Structure 1
Amino acid sequence: MSLFEDTYKTIAVPAEGQFKDRGSKFIAYAYPLRDEAAVKELVGALKAQHPKARHHCWAYRLTPDRSVFRINDDGEPSGTAGRPILNSLLSADVTNILLVVVRYFGGTLLGVPGLISAYKRAAQEALSAASIVELTVNDVYRITVLYEHLNEVMRIAKEEDLTIRKQDFDNRCALELEIRQTQVGKVLGRLEKVEGIAVDFVGTD
């Protein structure tokens, strides 16, 4: 991701695909993924759903800059399953996604080239069925302001098309706003002109 690019592609909802080769069945499941903690739960659920499958191989990519990834061959020869699944994610340029391929062994050994091709094809089938969306990279800021100046903040949020993640209105109001990274300088400049406001960076989403 270049310095000034603030969008990334991911999938909106889970998707499935299938590929068969010489009796072996490869069922691919693609999931939107926000953090690594969910991987174990999602793979575990598929193992429970497919207890007779021989392998449950997977790869994931995380973060808008696509820098975090992991692969797992789950007993297949090294480099024949997780890597081709990951390569499919790379080819589609998607991130924040987990792709698991469940294999039912059909009795015929496919060999290394056959396995690489089969896992890749299954992964591609799931990605072809998926709804791929482009999202913006947003910085999250916590805003605290006196109630009498809240309308000014809300007007800026509306005019700049900001997402309000949380809001707590009391004498001193608190909001969490998502600001697209390319808008941050402009929006903060406007917010800082509001009387009695405090603006704190929370993180990047």
Structure 2
Amino acid sequence: MPHTLAASVNFELLIKKSRFIACVQPMPDRAGAQAVVAQLRAQHPGAAHVCWALLAGGQSAAVDDGEPSGTAGRPMLDVLRHQDLEGVLATVVRYFGGVKLGAGGLVRAYTDSVAQALLTAQKVPIIRLQTLRCAVPYPLEGLLRRELDAAGARLDEVVHGDDVGFTFSLPAGDAAGLQLRLNEAGAGRIVWRREEDSA
């Protein structure tokens, strides 16, 4: 199950006089990540590199920012993937200490700084929600409300017309079981609507 972070975490690593300042934080999209990176560049004008990696809703990025190709962004991204994170941005600001670390040394430094920051992170499971829509005769409204409440479903919308239209959300893994229970309890009088039928 993928996780995100409850809050940002930081870690600083010093290797051969080079400072690696890591931050891993929740991030919904690429535009937000780019804004954070621009802010870091402004805060650290003397830094040699601001490398970053993003995993957010299918948008991923691995940016070396002038480090040798594949020695910074990709290793940082691999740490995020290995820990099954989603909606997360990792940044590492590097101040060059005058001693070259070599490709292997850089990969270890960027990997370690992100991994060490994540040791203190509070991870939060991402629960994918599924939205369901149905219509019920008025006499079944109370039954449906009780079943939704018992299942822990979130009631998004109720529309009273010729019948009662419900829109609700619940964890995707629980949706089929709830539909089955409602079909049995409603004796076939619950009409399910697909997304495109909701207009």
| Mapped contact 1:8–1:137 kept (Cα < 8 A) | no
Which residue does 1:38 correspond to in 2?
32
Which residue does 2:100 correspond to in 1?
109
Q: How does 1:130-145 map to 2 (within 5 A)?
A: 130-142=121-133
| In structure 2, distance between residues paired with 1:21 and 1:27 | 11
For the pair shown, the structure with the greater C-alpha radius of gyration is: 2
- Please state which structure has a larger fraction of its residues in helix: 2
Which residue does 1:157 correspond to in 2?
148
Gaps of 5+ in 2: none
Tell me how far 1:93 sits from its aligned partner.
2.2
Match of 2:42 among 44, 48, 52: 48
| Mapped contact 2:71–2:106 kept (Cα < 8 A) | yes
Amino acid at match of 1:139: Q
| Mapped contact 2:159–2:166 kept (Cα < 8 A) | no
| Mapped contact 2:134–2:190 kept (Cα < 8 A) | no
| In structure 2, distance between residues paired with 1:140 and 1:49 | 42
User: 1:171/1:100 Cα in 2 relative to 1: closer, same or farther (>3 Å)?
Assistant: same
1:120-177 CA deviation, whole Å, 9 max, x = no partner? Answer: 111112211211122322223356678875543432221111234x44x664577653
Tell me how far 1:73 sits from its aligned partner.
0.5
Amino acid at match of 1:41: A
Which residue does 2:179 correspond to in 1?
188
Match of 2:12 among 10, 14, 18: 18
Residue-pair matches, total? 191
Which residue does 2:169 correspond to in 1?
178
| In structure 2, distance between residues paired with 1:55 and 1:174 | 55
Tell me how far 1:190 sits from its aligned partner.
4.3
User: 1:96/1:147 Cα in 2 relative to 1: closer, same or farther (>3 Å)?
Assistant: farther
| In structure 2, distance between residues paired with 1:142 and 1:31 | 35
Task: Tell me the TM-score normalised to structure 1 length.
Answer: 0.77
RMSD: 2.8
| Mapped contact 1:140–1:179 kept (Cα < 8 A) | yes
Tell me how far 1:78 sits from its aligned partner.
0.2
User: 1:14/1:107 Cα in 2 relative to 1: closer, same or farther (>3 Å)?
Assistant: same
| Mapped contact 2:10–2:23 kept (Cα < 8 A) | yes
Query: Alignment identity in percent?
Result: 31
Task: Tell me the TM-score normalised to structure 2 length.
Answer: 0.79
Equivalent position SS for 2:119 = helix
Gaps of 5+ in 1: 1-6
Equivalent position SS for 1:129 = coil
Of the structure 1 ranges 143-152 and 50-59, higher mean CA displacement relative to structure 2 is found in: 143-152
| In structure 2, distance between residues paired with 1:150 and 1:52 | 64
